[in-house]
Amino acid sequence: MYQTTYVRASSLAEAANLLRDNPDAKLISGGQTLVPTLRQRLARASHLVDIVHLAELRGLTLEGDRVVIGATTTHAELAASDLVRQRIPGLAHLAGLIGDPPVRHLGTIGGSIANNDPAADYPAAVLALNAAVHTSRRTIGADDFFTGLFETALDPGEIVVRVSFPIPRRSAYEKFHQSASRFALVGVFVAVLADGSIRVAVTGAGPCVFRATSIESALARSFTAEAAESAAISADGLNSDIHGSAEFRAHLVPVLAARAVAQAR
Amino acid sequence: MAQINVKVNGRAVSKQVEDRTLLVEFLRETLGLTGTHVGCDTGQCGACVVHLDGRAVKSCTMIAAQASGSEITTIEGLAKGDELHPMQAAFHRHHALQCGFCTPGMIMTAVDLLRRIPHPDEATIRANLDGNLCRCTGYHNIVKAIAAVAESGAGV
Amino acid sequence: MAHDGIGARLPRKEDRRFITGAGNYTDDIVVRNAAHAEFVRSPHAHARILRIDVSAALRAPGVIGVLTGAELADDKVGGLICGWMIHSKDGSPMRAAPYAPLARDVVRYVGNPVAIVVAETKNEARDAAELVEVEYEELASVVDPAAAQAPGAPQIHAEAPGNTIYQWALGDKGAVDRAFAGAAHRVEVDLINNRLVPNAIEPRAATAIYDRAEGRFTLYTTSQNPHVTRLVLSAFVGLAPEHKLRVVAPDVGGGFWSKIFIYPEETVCLWAARRLGVPVKWAADRRESFLADAHGRDHVTHAEMAFDASHKIVGLRVKTIANLGAYMSTFSSSVPTYLYATLLSGQYDIPAIYAEVDAVYTNTTPVDAYRGAGRPEATYVVERLMDIAARRLRIDAAEIRRKNFIRSFPHQTPVIMNYDTGDYEASLNAALSAARYAEFPARRAEARSRGKLRGIGLSCYIEACGLAPSQAVGSLGGGVGLWESAEVRVNPVGTIEVLTGSHSHGQGHETTFAQLVAERFGVPTDQVSIIHGDTDKVQFGMGTYGSRSAAVGMSAVNKALERVEAKARRIAAHLMEAAESDVELKGGEFVVAGTDKKIAFANVALAAYTAHNLPPGTEPGLKEGAFYDPVNFTFPAGTYVCEVEVDPKTGAVEIVQFTAADDFGTIVNPMIVEGQVHGGLAQGIGQALLEGCRYDRDSGQLVTATFMDYAMPRARDLVSFNVSTTATPCKTNPLGIKGCGEAGAIGSPAAVINAIANAIGVERIEMPATAQRVWETCRAAQAAVAAQ
């Protein structure tokens, strides 16, 4: 790791000011992606601004028809939350599939979506459930949040504060692991929202999480595994690497979507 | 320099280290607690697992400063004097270690598992070892040892 | 007999330090004022070094020194060696090129060390290493072994035209040609034995100290064979004569052969410690392990097998190209030759075998032995062919094997080996019964109802262990003898120290070697210490690899124990005023047969040291040494049965049952033996399903350089194994031990692949059988069925 200065922020404002004043500063919450990246000297940070202790980023509450989750909620907390397990079972299941137990004890939802790794799990849930991302400055809808490979709509210095998920009628997440990293080679989140609309989001397959509209249309006609599986996904533009060709990933999307449909509750 | 105030294995420790010091480097090099090992750079192998405020974490995937203010238990702090923790005893009895290098992290993960899930089935045990690699045992006897502790109810 | 003697399921003595965090691994060792090393490595697969500028690095904070190949040459530090001479079939010696610890003119693989930076802290060394400027002129590279031999391929070493190191052959070509000409059936296969990275969980490390007052080096290092390290560093690299070099291998976190070889990094650290006048500490990170530890396997093979009308094998023909990487590592030349082709007869009575092996240089990390070393490759060839033959000839996979088993011993194969004993039918039957082979069709049908393809696969492996009769090794080109040494020191109070040249890095010698002592003298194992891994303590030894510690190392201990017993018996007889021939050793006491006269072993030890009343001419003390040179290899063998379920929609393969029935001869500690099998199986299943080291063909970059991309077997990838043993004790060593360390890795890949092929109903699928590969194979198989 290159030299850095660690600062434990005492307020959101202080964290934002540190980011504003130090363009090479980075936020750290769980650090489960950032620390290995820094360790391998693949990135450097003039400052590491630790926001994990800020009270305003904590919390996991039911607010009307939404479950609101603080940005520093860990994957383990979310997976174990009775509230999430009852109201959005697909989301709780997804959180329990991220990384491994020690990683889930530190990694946070805010860190995951802000990083927007193309193979991360949470972006699929945020997009499929049409969640809202509340930041230190504004609220960003899921459809606008994930903009590209490791890119989000967050401006420099903007901090994710909480994510609010509308409670769906049904949800499920199916993940096909990349065998080495156990990230998603392909992950498919299927949600039937309160208004009956169906959203299917895919992670791992492309450079950025995306909605599988052909599957959504098929499921709108018939919410069955067969319908999902019969929808075609084009391999164009999908990721291709030693772990899976674009064609294989394209093939897996409807297969996993079908399994998610069968699991959805 | 970062000021690190932690309680390690019940002992309060206060040290200054470079901000970039990893928690595992702090434990091994500053405190001489070499039972916690480093087997990779990317957070997969789990040889470095310790307990931070009662939860298993990878000490190579944290900088020491993040842990300041916390209580840490390492493999050195698991036994009560000469009396082994039941998980340590089970690893011995069931031959759940060979070269021993992954063992401290594996034991810390296993103890954490039974605290969260006191009676896991075999599939649950295996799934909870996702973050710990062993190259010697094929996991067979590790799974057996953890299951035996779960069965005895002595896990926590 | 003592309850903790041979055959006891004794928990390990060494465990306590490991489960309490008190192990003492190389990187745990604290040396006052030690500096830290970081290596500057080539980012290119093949390039000429035009210029190295270390000035900025030298000015960086904390830097003590930066050294390159130029300084190494100034100090006349020699190159690394390959210790096994192979001659090509035309009689010419192998074309070994120089292997400098720091590349000076040309770099030949990504990771090739170019300079060492030594600084006060690890971070400072790493910071400064980035400031070393190396100007390269990139050259074309080649990573694929077959491509390396193609006309126009980049030339890697001037000494090896066409990148070919040797073109070796074994067996009778004419006899094989005749057998094929007259055969009723022939089958063939093209296969790749995938390149693997050993990945012991402890990365390699070294701490090098130079004592100026004594002119003596100490090297703490992650070694499986400290004496061989010392020998090579003395006799070939020329750093110091042996009496001025101490090599200590403390607790070592797994080896799997990768910690046998003498590598650039440890060598350079030792030299730098003297040159810079400061102890030098180095520990590889995992990325360095991927780049710098010798890789394993990497064979491209075409093989053909011929059968007569009654399905008896009449001939086997094999052509293999073996990738040895950019430089020839310590034992690299022997792996695809004498450790491979000599096992191509498998468990079968094959009258004629002919194998050709080309070894080639490529722009990749050096390749050397990895768990099994040549024998997994041989088993894979033979057992894939047997399965394909069963399919083509429409007979049961077990029956074709049964029909061809060797049934009388000793058996001379056409490829050097002389099998002393075995009962292959017994292990086959044990495995089939444990795996409920007969009921498999019902399980397959049930799986089909769930949309899964269930398959079963067999592998009947044989291997040669107990490396090795020194004279045989020498006649085949080996540069060392492969005996083992032992010394048994009985202390005056009757406690016993055993010094062994074997090295334990997970095998449990501190327990099993003590069991051997307990068996003979009735001494509890906690009164026995096993001392190993330090050239200052143990006179000499050849180390641990090739499943040799029990068969060879214990045989040496046994020989020393016999000598101790003989002397103790003489003293006991004298003390009891009995004839030596009337004195028996029973349960830790010498007794005079037919009387109540007896004396405890510990009292005899005391008498030996007080020396007040010894038989005339007897020296005081009770300490004996022995060297044991095996008279033959040992031949563990067994049958593995793998059962898988394939999800045709995703290509996911689940191992649902794995059964192993092994014949290891005499077993000292069944619990430890089972553990060895479990671990070997995991590595073999890893090779078959998950692990595949990949280089980019164009750039020569190592694509799988972290655990994020190289899939290691995890707990959830495996099952609880169903292991058992049958026994035909080895006839050529005193204990009847065959060795068990590698069998699992040798036998299992073929069983897994045969099971997957059986599930899908195809002949071929390459390792690792990744989800994509399996899915593609399923799809092609379905398309073929549809086309019919």
Those chains having 3 or more beta-carbon pairs within 8 angstroms of chain C are A, B
Name the residue type at position C360: V
Q: How far is A9 from chain C (nearest CA, A)?
A: 26
Q: Which of A40, A242, A255 sits opposite C649 (nearest CB)?
A: A255
Q: Is the pLDDT of residue C5 over 70?
A: yes
Burial A88-105 (b: 16+ CB within 10 A, else e): bbbbbbbbbbbbbbbbbb
Contact B124/A at CB under 8 A: no
Average pLDDT of the segment spanning C693-715: 98
Same domain, yes or no, for B71 and B98? no
Give residue C341's region: left, alpha or beta (phi > 0; psi -120 to 50). Answer: alpha
Instruction: Write out pLDDT tens, residues A139-149.
Output: 999 999 999 99
Two structure tokens written together for B70: 């916390």
A/C interface, count of CB pairs below 8 Å: 47
Q: How far is C741 from chain B (nearest CA, A)?
A: 10
Chosen for mutation from C124, C450, C775 (greatest number of chain A CBs closer than 10 Å) is C775
Q: Cβ contacts (< 8 Å) between C651 and chain A: which residues?
A: 248
pLDDT of residue C736: 96
> Which of A242, B137, A247, A186 is CA-nearest to residue C194?
A242
Residue of B nearest to C719 (CA): B140
Q: Cβ contacts (< 8 Å) between C769 and chain A: which residues?
A: none
Contact C707/A at CB under 8 A: yes
CATH of span A170-263: 3.30.390.50
Same domain, yes or no, for B19 and B66? yes
CA A101, CA A80: separation in Å to the nearest integer? 12
C-alpha dihedral sign at C767, C773, C778, C779:
negative
Tallying the residues shown for chain B, one arrives at: 156
CA C41, CA C53: separation in Å to the nearest integer? 14
Contact B51/A at CB under 8 A: no
Instruction: Write out pLDDT tens, residues C659-679.
Output: 999 999 999 999 999 999 999
Q: Is the pLDDT of residue C2 over 50?
A: no
Contact A8/C at CB under 8 A: no
pLDDT of residue C488: 97
Q: Is residue B81 part of a domain?
A: no
CA B97, CA B139: separation in Å to the nearest integer? 9
- How many degrees, rounded to 5, is the angle at CA A244 between CA A239 and CA A246? 40
Taking each helix axis as running N to C, give the angle between helix A246-263 and helix C771-787, from 0 to 180 degrees, rounded to the nearest 10.
90
Contact A255/C at CB under 8 A: yes
Two structure tokens written together for C698: 């164009």
B/C interface, count of CB pairs below 8 Å: 184
Q: Which of C126, C649, C690 sits opposite A179 (nearest CB)?
A: C690
Instruction: Write out pLDDT tens, residues C597-628.
Output: 999 999 999 999 999 999 999 999 999 999 99
CA C230, CA C556: separation in Å to the nearest integer? 21
User: What fold, for A55-166?
Assistant: 3.30.465
Name the residue type at position A131: A
Residue of B nearest to A181 (CA): B44
Q: What is the DSSP letter of C534?
A: B
CB contact under 8 A, A179 and C710: no
Same domain, yes or no, for B70 and B18? yes
Q: Cβ contacts (< 8 Å) between B130 and chain C: which residues?
A: 714-716
Two structure tokens written together for C62: 């904390």
Residue of A nearest to B69 (CA): A53
Same domain, yes or no, for B24 and B57? yes
CA B61, CA B64: separation in Å to the nearest integer? 10
Q: Is the pLDDT of residue C1 over 70?
A: no
Per-residue pLDDT band at B155 (split at 50, 70, 90) = low
Two structure tokens written together for B45: 């192998």
Tallying the residues shown for chain A, one arrives at: 265
Q: Which of C126, C287, C694 sits opposite A242 (nearest CB)?
A: C694
Q: Is residue B36 part of a domain?
A: yes
CB contact under 8 A, A102 and B58: yes
> Which of C583, C677, C327, C633 is CA-nearest to residue C466?
C633
> Which of B9, B69, B6 is CA-nearest to residue B36?
B9
Domains of chain C: 15-20+483-628 (3.30.365.10), 31-139+202-253+259-292 (3.90.1170.50), 299-467+632-787 (3.30.365.10)
Of B37, B58, B76, which residue sits at a domain end? Answer: B76
Instruction: Write out pLDDT tens, residues C225-271.
Output: 999 999 999 999 999 999 999 999 999 999 999 999 999 999 999 99
Burial of B125 (0-12, 13-18, 19+ CB in 10 A): buried
Q: In terms of DSSP bridges, do strands C205-211 and C216-221 run parallel, antiparallel, or are they unpaired?
A: antiparallel
Q: In terms of DSSP bridges, do strands C496-500 and C528-531 run parallel, antiparallel, or are they unpaired?
A: parallel
The values of phi and psi at residue C129, to 5°, are -60, -30
Q: How far is A228 from chain B (nearest CA, A)?
A: 28
CB contact under 8 A, B130 and A50: no
Average pLDDT of the segment spanning A95-121: 98
Residue of B nearest to A52 (CA): B66
Burial of C244 (0-12, 13-18, 19+ CB in 10 A): middle
Contact B95/A at CB under 8 A: no
Contact B41/A at CB under 8 A: yes
Q: Is the pLDDT of residue A233 over 60?
A: yes
Contact A243/C at CB under 8 A: yes
Between the alpha carbon of residue C54 and those of residues C68, C125, C270, the distances in Å are: 9, 13, 20
Those chains having 3 or more beta-carbon pairs within 8 angstroms of chain B are A, C
Q: What CATH class does A5-50 carry? A: alpha beta
The values of phi and psi at residue C774, to 5°, are -65, -45
Those chains having 3 or more beta-carbon pairs within 8 angstroms of chain A are B, C
pLDDT of residue C546: 86
B 25-84 residues inside an 8 A Cβ radius of C: 28, 32-42, 44-45, 47, 74-76, 78-79, 84
Average pLDDT of the segment spanning C91-103: 97
Same domain, yes or no, for B94 and B147? yes
CB contact under 8 A, A2 and C712: no
ipTM above 0.90, yes or no: yes
CB contact under 8 A, B99 and C254: yes
Is the backbone peptide bond immediately before C410 cis, with ω within 30 degrees of 0?
yes
CB contact under 8 A, B2 and A6: yes
Of B16, B44, B76, which residue sits at a domain end? Answer: B76
Q: How far is C708 from chain A (nearest CA, A)?
A: 4
Instruction: Tell whether pTM > 0.95.
Output: yes
Residue of B nearest to C669 (CA): B95
DSSP A138-206: -EEEHHHHEEETTEESPPTT--EEEEEEEPPSEEEEEEEE-TTT-SEEEEEEEEE-TTS-EEEEEESSS
Mean pLDDT of chain B: 97
CB contact under 8 A, C715 and B93: no
Q: Which of A1, A180, A252 sits opposite C707 (nearest CB)?
A: A180
pLDDT of residue B153: 87
B 88-127 residues inside an 8 A Cβ radius of C: 88, 91-93, 95, 97-104, 107, 122-123, 125-127
Instruction: Write out pLDDT tens, residues C520-575.
Output: 999 999 999 999 999 999 999 999 998 899 999 999 999 999 999 999 999 999 99
Two structure tokens written together for C774: 């399996």
Q: Which of B42, B84, B133 sits opposite C19 (nearest CB)?
A: B84
Q: How far is B69 from chain C (nearest CA, A)?
A: 24
Name the residue type at position A143: D
pLDDT of residue B154: 81
Burial of C757 (0-12, 13-18, 19+ CB in 10 A): buried
Q: Is the pLDDT of residue C326 over 90?
A: yes
Q: Which of A1, A180, A255 sits opposite C711 (nearest CB)?
A: A180
Q: How far is A60 from chain B (nearest CA, A)?
A: 19
Of B76, B100, B128, which residue sits at a domain end? Answer: B76
CATH number at residue B55: 3.10.20.30
Residue A201 near residue C728, CB atoms below 8 Å: no
Two structure tokens written together for A222: 């018939």
> Which of C545, C724, C548 is CA-nearest to residue C641?
C724
Contact B25/A at CB under 8 A: no
Residue of C nearest to A255 (CA): C649
Same domain, yes or no, for B94 and B124? yes
CA C552, CA C549: separation in Å to the nearest integer? 5
pLDDT of residue C3: 75
C-alpha dihedral sign at C256, C257, C261, C263:
negative
Chosen for mutation from B18, B75, B95 (greatest number of chain C CBs closer than 10 Å) is B95
Same domain, yes or no, for B65 and B99? no
Q: Cβ contacts (< 8 Å) between C710 and chain A: which residues?
A: 180
pLDDT of residue B156: 60
CB contact under 8 A, B19 and A31: no
Q: Is residue B65 part of a domain?
A: yes
Burial of C137 (0-12, 13-18, 19+ CB in 10 A): exposed
Residue A225 near residue A261, CB atoms below 8 Å: yes
Q: Is residue B64 part of a domain?
A: yes
Q: Which residues pair with C462 in a beta bridge?
A: C637
Contact C708/A at CB under 8 A: yes
Q: Cβ contacts (< 8 Å) between B20 and chain C: which residues?
A: 123
Q: Cβ contacts (< 8 Å) between A8 and chain B: which residues?
A: 65, 68
pLDDT of residue A146: 98
pLDDT of residue B115: 97
Q: Show me where the domains of chain A are located.
A: 5-50, 55-166, 170-263
How many alpha carbons fall within 13 Å on the CB side of residue A208? 18
Split into its structural domains, chain B has a count of 2
Q: Which residue range is the domain that position B44 belongs to? A: 2-76
For residue A8, give the 3-state DSSP assignment.
strand
Name the residue type at position A211: R
Instruction: Write out pLDDT tens, residues C747-788.
Output: 999 999 999 999 999 999 999 999 999 999 999 999 998 988
CA C380, CA C748: separation in Å to the nearest integer? 9
Mean pLDDT of chain C: 97
- Helix, strand, coil % in chain A, rounded to nearest 5: 35, 25, 40
Between the alpha carbon of residue B134 and those of residues A155, B139, B142, C620, C690, the distances in Å are: 42, 7, 9, 48, 15
